Structure 1
Amino acid sequence: MRKLALAAAATVALSSPSIAQSPQERLDALYDRALAAGYKALFLCSAISHAEANGTTRSPESLHRWELTGIQAPLDDIVRELPYEILRHANGTIERVQVSWDDEQEPRYAVHLDNDKGCAINPIGGAFEMYGRPANPVASRRRTDPPVVEASGALASSFDKAFDGSFGEGSRTTAVLVRSGGEVIGERYVEGFDPMTPQRTWSVAKSLAATLVGAAVQRGDADVNASAGLGYSRGDPRRAITLDHALRMSTGRYSDTPGNRTDPIYWGGAGVRERALQWPLIAKPGTVYRYANNDTLVAVQAVSASLQDHPPAQLFAKLGMNHTVAEIDWRGQYVLSSQAWTTARDLGRLGQLYLQDGMWEGERILPEGWTDYVSSPSGPQPEGSAFGYGAGWWLMNATDGVPSDTFAAFGNRGQYVVVVPSRDVVIVRRGEDMVGTRFDIAGFTRDVLAALED
């Protein structure tokens, strides 16, 4: 029997806005409300269900304070006021979250599929029943992690600055963690978060995707120099796009916006295959760098067949990343350009895998030399950026005061995993930075490395 866990009072009218001055403006206003509702439903479903699966909690009030504040316009002016319901199974696990946005339309539904695939958002107007089965009503897994490892001395001072705004006025740090010599030597969490509290990775998922590709290469299921499988026939020039091109953001495909904004997939419920794979070619593959979410989605699609037998959850479990979930679209395709949830400790383990060049507890997970591969600027590079780009990882090879072998995973709202092989160090920073603020990850990296010399 479904139980209503929480219902927010409807404080705004749900009908489409009437103040727009043209048919297009009315359509855009309605679409923005639909996206905002999808954004809210998915965040509430994912954050709360993943936290509970890990034995901790998140409340809607916490989500409204952190994840649902300071997001991109125009959704920021809409999202917090939309009424929502959280529906649970009889055993207490979340079944779905639904957010109302228009009197004439179905609510936006985020359905909790299971603990390994998380939540998926319905297409705009799609009924809950379209999923074909209810969410998996299994009880949440409960795990207990070791106590927080307190930083001391100069490292503790670096952590203080990460939380007090010294590395970016208005930035909002939720967690920091440092590994050295293969161990966590310090970590800290803002009130309301702890080692088992997962957050959305945003584009750090691209580095997770590169890791999954590497694992497929190691198994013999993929070749980075082979075609990524785009196009409709042998004569289609997109056949020349390789998996390497996709990882290096150099497919040569058109992007309609910086980053190839993927709101239709993330919040609109469009599928990866219908939205991310069909963009036309406008430059020779391998000649132009263009950061695009869709290129990472292409890379994941290129190895999707092998992920049926070797799902991300399997790799995460092997690495002890027990609080990491790669989520899917409603058609079952991984949205690994952004939609993964994990903890600071799990991201530290990801970085450690690369420090060990793909070896983990005596087993080769990634091909020998994969660390050099992802951290090599062998493709075209970003223009006007302080950072270079490798294969699914950013490069800090030209960053003042940072060792030249440093590379990093970057994600929206201040998600960072910095890997420094020459120092045997991994630095993790999690945040919920608002639009218009930025955390200085280069400055924090310099500060931490200096602290470790004391």
Structure 2
Amino acid sequence: MIRHALAAAALLASAPLAAQSASQDEIEARYDRALAAGYKALFLCSAIANAERNGATRTPESVEAWELTGIQAPLDEIVADLPYRILRDPDGELNQVSVEWAGDMPPRVAVHDSRRGCQQMPIGGAPHPIRTKRPHAGSEHIAVVPPTGLLAESLSRAFDGAHGEGTRTTAVLVQRGASTLAEQYAPDFGPAVPQRTWSVAKSIAATLVGGAVHHGQAEVDRSAGLAVAPNDRRRAITIDHLLRMASGRFSDTAGNRTNPLYYGGSSVAETAMHWPLVNAPGTVFRYANNDTLAAVKAIESAFEAQSPAQVFARIGMHDTVAETDWRGDYILSSQVWSTARDLARLGRLYLDDGVLPSGERILPEGWVEYVSSPSGPQPDGPFGYGAGFWLFDKSEGIPPDTFAAMGNRGQFIVIVPSLNTVIVRRGEDPAGHRFDIAGFTRDVLESLAE
């Protein structure tokens, strides 16, 4: 730790006149600072700009208190002390956020594009010379429906730590069919304030794949196109394998943290597509961001006819933004910003078997059964896995048809088809503190049964 601290302090000094050798500790400390700066630039940019896009407000102080605390080590020890600068256009729209991290390197920069949120530039990279702008006043927001009775007691337990010591709930929403039964928000949050979905985006990605299948633009049992030569066995990897986390590809960490892409400014193409095969496709469950990113890449031609933003608009998710890397590829394994209400709308789509309130079908018949069926290899632990969604098939006291989108720091959409119910919980849970979503789901369902 002492060596890391000394190495980190040295990084802010001016660049030496002569080239020097660096130890592995110094290189890792420098890289950690670059990642921390990228994390800070991106979250300040996305949290503030996407809220303002929806007609809401987030201050830098609010983002520092929520999104920039309790994050993964060692970034949490670095990020608070890095100076930042927020630049706006003459009309007041956020343009970019820059964060200093080393005296001999340019700042880390995140650039706002109102069509696709914020893009993180590579380490040492400069912003694109052209930004596109599109007015967006936010969707119409009805009044918050306050919880009452037993449901109020259940929701309050989400905020007081009863379902996980040290957890921090920012929003909860309970919906039955088309009716919102109750919603509640923490200070600094509200119906128009989006948060990063983290891995809830994987379920959004599965929804986009379903849309492509419905329109005849993709087939889940076809090759995902990962092979680079005729004798490359990755040719056998299908979109289905990727959605079920069963590609058989190697990933460098459990959970496949993808730090170079999420915080380092690398691209989807650089980060997710090249990994080698170590198991036969369809035989081993290995949760990996890379698999979702590859599944989205396999259907990207469908976005020419209908972009993610257009799909969100049709569902009614007007306050949701799918962000991209600096090359324009969607980071649909994590980097989507959305509100509790929009996530509830996604849940309702699945309650209604992929049919919109207008009667228009946008997901194939049977898609709900497909994503919620454990037909592939299964993970260890309390939850099963379908195709882009987690399953409550092992959870006592919860209907066995329940499935969910789940994301880092406590993001959840719980879908209970047999009870026509959707439960959304948003959070900014610190690293090492886990919200008990199964316990909360049981709590809410019991309150609704009374």
Please report the TM-score for the alignment, with normalisation by the length of structure 1: 0.94
- Contact in 1 for aligned 2:385/2:391 (Cα 8 Å): yes
Are the aligned partners of 2:54 and 2:319 in contact in 1 as well (CA < 8 Å)?
Answer: yes
CA distance in 2, matches of 1:29, 1:118: 29
Specify the alignment match of 1:99 in structure 2.
Answer: 99
Matched residue type, 1:304:
E
Alpha-carbon shift at residue 142 of structure 1 (Å):
3.7
CA deviation profile, 1:178-201 (whole Å, cap 9, x unmatched): 010321110000011110000000
- In 2, Cα distance between the equivalents of 1:376 and 1:420? 14
Equivalent pairs, count:
436
User: Hey, what does 2:359 align to over in structure 1?
Assistant: 362
1:330 partnered with 2:326: yes
Amino acid in structure 2 at the alignment position of 1:38 = G
Counterpart of 2:71 in structure 1 is 71
Q: Within the alignment, does 1:447 sit opposite 2:430 as a pair?
A: no
Q: Which residue of structure 2 aligns with residue 374 of structure 1?
A: 371
**2:432 is aligned with 1:436:** yes
Q: CA deviation at 1:140?
A: 4.4
1:7-18 alignment, distance < 5 Å = 15=12
CA pair 142-349 structure 1, distance change in 2 beyond 3 A: closer
Q: How does 1:395-434 map to 2 (within 5 A)?
A: 395-434=391-430
Three-state SS of the structure 1 residue aligned to 2:198 is coil
Write the deviation string for residues 322-351 of structure 1: whole angstroms up to 9, x where unpaired.
110000000000000000000000000000
Say whether residues 1:263 and 2:259 are aligned partners: yes
1:137: how far off?
A: 4.3
- Work out whether residues 17 and 30 of structure 1, in 8 Å CA contact, stay in contact via their aligned partners in 2: no
- 1:231 alignment partner, one of 222, 227, 232: 227
Distance 2:293 2:132 in 1: 26
Q: In structure 1, what is the Cα distance between the partners aligned to 2:430 and 2:59?
A: 20
**Which stretch shows the higher mean deviation, 178-187 or 323-332?**
178-187
Please report how far the alpha carbon of residue 13 of structure 1 lies from its aligned counterpart in structure 2 after TM superposition.
7.7
Deviations 1:205-250 (CA, angstroms, capped at 9, x unpaired): 0000000000000000000000000021221100000000000000
Counterpart for residue 344 of structure 1: 340
Q: Does residue 25 of structure 2 align to residue 25 of structure 1? A: yes
Equivalences for residues 54-65 of structure 1 within 5 A:
54-65=54-65
Cα distance in 2, alignment partners of residues 190 and 299 from structure 1: 35
The answer as to whether partners of 2:11 and 2:30 remain within 8 angstroms in 1 is no
SS at match of 2:282: coil
Counterpart-to-counterpart distance in 1, 2:320 and 2:285: 30
Q: Retained in 1: the 8 A contact 2:321–2:337?
A: yes
- In the alignment, which residue of structure 1 is the partner of 2:51? 51
3-state SS of paired residue (2:34): helix
Distance 1:288 1:179 in 2: 35
Of stretches 411-420 and 254-263 in structure 1, the one that deviates more from structure 2 is: 254-263
Match of 1:108 in 2: 108
Root-mean-square deviation (Å): 1.5
* Alpha-carbon spacing, 1:318–1:16, altered in 2? closer, same or farther (3 Å): farther
User: Does structure 1 conserve the Cα–Cα contact (< 8 Å) formed by 2:138 and 2:318?
Assistant: no
| 2:202 and 2:334 in contact (8 A); partners too | yes
Is the Cα contact below 8 Å between 1:123 and 1:270 reproduced in 2? yes
Offset of residue 17 of structure 1: 11
Are 1:194 and 2:220 an aligned pair?
Answer: no
Q: Is the 8 A contact 2:14 2:104 kept in 1?
A: no
The equivalent residue for 2:4 is: none
The offset of 1:16, in angstroms, is 6.5
Matching of residues 241-252 of structure 1 within 5 Å: 241-252=237-248
> What are the superposed Cα offsets for residues 377-431 of structure 1, whole Å, 9 maximum, x if unpaired?
0000002x10000000000011010000000011000000000000000000000
Secondary structure of the residue aligned to 2:112 is strand
Letter in structure 2 aligned against 1:441 = I
**Residue 3 of structure 2: aligned partner:** none
State how far apart, in whole Å, the 1-side matches of 2:90 and 2:143 are: 32
Partner Cα distance (1:307, 1:68) in 2 = 32
**Residue identity (%):** 60
For 2:72, the aligned partner's letter is Q
Deviation at 1:14, TM superposition (A): 5.7
Alpha-carbon distance in 2 for matches of 1:254, 1:16: 38
* Whole-angstrom CA distance in 2 between matches of 1:368 and 1:137: 37
Counterpart amino acid of 2:125? Answer: G
What secondary structure sits across from 1:359 in the alignment?
coil
Corresponding residue for residue 175 of structure 1: 171
> How far has the Cα of 1:203 moved from its partner?
0.3
Please name the residue that 1:124 is paired with. 123
Distance 2:180 2:10 in 1: 49
- Report the 3-state secondary structure (helix = DSSP H, G, I; strand = E; otherwise coil) of the residue aligned with 1:363: coil
Runs of 4+ aligned structure 1 residues displaced above 3 Å come to 137-140
Unaligned runs of 5+ in 2: 1-8, 16-20
- Per the TM alignment, residue 436 of structure 1 is displaced from its structure 2 partner at its CA by 1.4
Aligned residue for 1:5? none
Q: Does the 8 Å contact 1:252/1:281 carry over to 2?
A: yes
Q: Tell me the secondary structure at the aligned position of residue 120 of structure 1.
A: strand
* 8 A Cα contact 1:327 1:335, kept in partner: yes
The residue type equivalent to 1:15 in the other structure is: L
Q: Structure 2 counterpart of 1:310, which letter?
A: Q
User: SS where residue 224 of structure 1 aligns?
Assistant: coil
Shift of 1:141: 2.3
Where does 1:374-393 land on structure 2 (aligned, <5 Å)?
374-383=371-380, 385-393=381-389
Conserved 8 A contact 1:231-1:278: no
Deviation at 1:138, TM superposition (A): 4.4
SS in 2 for 1:206: helix
Looking at structure 1, the residues matched to 278 and 13 of structure 2 have their Cα atoms a distance apart, in angstroms, of 38
Rounded to whole Å, the distance in 2 between the matches of 1:377 and 1:234 is 31
CA-CA distance at 1:150 after TM superposition: 1.1
Structure 2: distance between partners of 1:371 and 1:434: 32
Do the aligned residues in 2 keep the contact of 1:16 with 1:30 (CA within 8 Å)? no
Structure 2 Cα separation of the partners of residues 421 and 141 of structure 1: 33
Matched, 1:136 2:135: no
Matches within 5 A, 1:274-313: 274-313=270-309
Q: 2:154 is matched with which residue? A: 158
